[in-house]
Amino acid sequence: MFESLSGRLESIFSKLKGRGKLTEADVDAAMREVRLALLEADVNYKVVKEFVATLKARAIGSDVLDSLTPAQQVVKIVNEELTTLLGTTESRLPMASQPPTVVMMVGLQGSGKTTATAKLAYHLTKQGKHPLMIAADTYRPAAIDQLVALGDENKIAVFSTGGRPEEIVAAGLKQAVRQANDVVIVDTAGRLHVDEDMMSEAARIKSVAKPHQILLVVDAMTGQDAVNVAESFKERLDFDGLILTKMDGDARGGAALSIRAVTGRPVKFISLGEKVDSLEAFHPDRLASRILGMGDVLTLIEKAQSVSDEAKAKALTEKLRRQEFDLEDFLDQMRQLRNMGPIGQVMKMLPGVSNIPGMKKSEVNDSDIKRIQAIIESMTPRERQQPSIISGSRRQRIAKGSGTSVTEVNQLLKQFEQTKKLLKSMTQMTGKRGRRGMFGNMF
Ligand SMILES: Nc1nc2c(ncn2[C@@H]2O[C@H](COP(=O)(O)OP(=O)(O)OP(=O)(O)O)[C@@H](O)[C@H]2O)c(=O)[nH]1
Ligand SMILES: [Mg+2]
């Protein structure tokens, strides 16, 4: 997700940071590069134009250029403006005061509606809701079976019956009331292109379902096509928010960065894979930081919390406080990270990780973890507890013992120090707020 844009922006800003004092011409040149990077990421050209104009107006002011850290100020401004572009605030799914809350999914064929229906339902069950999915796609023969199978697999209620889509929806809503489902998600049929047939069917379903929210599902990999589709849907049907799917395959990010500015509708969720648990709430601020390589620590924490072990968490917080966090804990932590799903995704959320050689992009995999494990297991217990004693000759011995190189051992030790620092600053942060366990729950 956003790999190419992220890489480009990082190199633009590291050049800028290398300069110290900045002139107007420096900022101007950097902004030209930002503009190109965004265009290459397939961001809508009007959006790019406005975005860069805003950035320039803010960055060329004397309070930036004359500040002690002008390059950092520029990055900060870019971060803020990216957040604004993506949507400023987190987009929630509002619940109706009178349940059930009805959500209607619309979108082109193959955009990911049916899977997104199940993912959203799954997401809501994690929040204690009891959703009912209504299979109202009578256009594609296997569509109903697909939703029923997803429901069975994930223990989510599905309503299906014969008849026309609007009849199915009416019957499904009655069932939801009978079964006291608090959320109803209606899966509808897509077509290959925006056409009259699809739009009128969607309108008929809308008039029966009276949805509180219409969510348009678009495939992020289709870039500006997704934006055009969204514009058509807005004209013909209107919708309340977007689900961007296949973000896992979208290295450029053009749709995500343009769609809100173009349609005026917020992105509410992004989907990062085929599995049912791959839907994430959309957080513009976190995504902006991720794009700028500043890491997405909050999402990491949330992911971690879902696989956390309360007892270990307390022990770790305690160790950090006593400054006893050692390489054993580090290894343990790495193993826990592996439990969190696609390891590359998780690691990339840590600030600075993308700068560690060999950890670049999504190359972090199980073999990296195995290497880390081999290196740590080649150390003596004392070395693991007190990494500061690992001298040059010890490093050579450890490299030999683990079948790695001294460089790899050095990298690991550096990464250990960075992690320790990060963890420490985070426990202090949460400690100050007096909230036990925000980060403590992590491991
Ligand atoms: N990699 C990846 N694949 C996805 C994602 N979302 C959906 N898919 C895949 O995209 C394909 C189409 O998804 P569906 O949910 O069936 O699409 P649909 O919009 O319901 O399609 P129709 O019912 O034909 O209109 C499936 O193979 C999904 O597994 C995602 O976020 N990432
Ligand atoms: Mg479908």
- Give mean pLDDT in consecutive 10-residue pieces for the chain, a chain of 443 residues: 84 83 89 93 94 92 79 85 84 88 96 96 94 93 93 96 94 95 95 88 94 96 93 93 92 89 94 93 86 65 58 70 80 70 58 52 63 91 91 94 94 86 65 39 36
Which residues form the domain of 274?
101-283
Q: Does any domain span residue 259?
A: yes
In this structure, the answer to whether residues 76 and 115 fall within a common structural domain is no
Q: What pTM was computed for the model?
A: 0.71
Which residue among 34, 53, 86 closes a domain? 86
| Whether residue 205 is found in the same domain as residue 351 | no
pLDDT given at position 352: 55
Distances (CA, A) of 16 to 33, 38, 206: 11, 18, 51
- Is there an atom of ligand 1 within 6 Å of 248 CB? yes
Task: Identify whether residues 27 and 143 lie together within a single domain.
Answer: no
**Alpha-carbon gap, residue 51 to 85, rounded angstroms:** 8
The per-residue b/e assignment along 30-64, b for 16 or more CB within 10 angstroms, e otherwise, is bbebbbebbeebbbbeebbeebbeebbebbbeeeb
* pLDDT score recorded for residue 339: 63
pLDDT at 159: 96
- Indicate which residue's Cα is closest to atom 27 of ligand 1: 274
- Of 27, 57, 86, the residue that ends a domain is 86
pLDDT (0 to 100) of residue 76 = 84
Contact 119 CB / ligand 1 (< 6 Å): no
Domain membership of residue 289 (yes or no) is no
The verdict on residue 309 lying in a domain is: yes
356 and 217 share one domain: no
147 lies in the same domain as 24: no
Do 250 and 133 fall into the same domain?
yes
Specify if 95 maps to a domain.
Answer: no
pLDDT of residue 422: 74
CA 303 → CA 65, 124, 406, distances in Å? 39, 16, 33
Residue at 291 is within a domain: no
Q: Does residue 21 share a domain with residue 160?
A: no
**What is the spatial distance between Cα 321 and Cα 143, in angstroms, rounded to a whole number?**
54
State whether 238 and 263 are in the same domain.
Answer: yes
Tell whether the torsion through CA atoms of 411, 412, 413 and 414 is positive or negative: positive
194 DSSP assignment? -
Residue nearest to atom 26 of ligand 1 (CA): 112
d(CA 164, CA 168): 6
Distance 266 CA to ligand 2 centre (A): 22
Cα–Cα distance, 417 to 86 (Å, whole number): 34
Q: Are residues 35 and 106 in the same domain?
A: no
Asked if 291 and 340 touch (Cβ cutoff 8 Å), the reply is no
- Which amino acid is present at 34? V
Answer whether residue 210 is part of any domain: yes
Q: CA-CA distances (angstroms) from residue 291 to 8, 217, 232, 359? A: 10, 22, 28, 16
For ligand 1, atom 4, which residue shows the shortest CA distance?
Answer: 274
> Quick one: 400 and 307 in the same domain?
yes
- Nearest CA owner, ligand 1 atom 6: 112
Give the domain CATH number at 158: 3.40.50.300
> Do 165 and 249 lie in a common domain?
yes
Whether 324 is covered by a domain: the verdict is: yes
- The total number of structural domains in the chain stands at 3
User: Quick one: tokens of 250?
Assistant: 């979208």
Query: Ligand 1: does its nearest atom lie under 6 Å from the Cβ of 56?
Result: no
**Residue 371 burial class via C-beta count within 10 angstroms: exposed 0-12, middle 13-18, buried 19 and up:** middle
Distance CA 378, CA 356 (A): 22
Helices (H), 97-190: 113-126, 143-154, 165-179
Ligand nearest to C-alpha 202 = 1
Which DSSP symbol is given to 95? P
Residue 310 domain-assigned (yes or no): yes
What are the E-state strand segments in 265-392? 267-271, 279-281
Asked if residue 270 and residue 121 are part of one domain, the reply reads: yes
Q: Which of 32, 55, 86 is the last residue of a domain?
A: 86
What's 329's domain CATH number?
Answer: 1.10.260.30
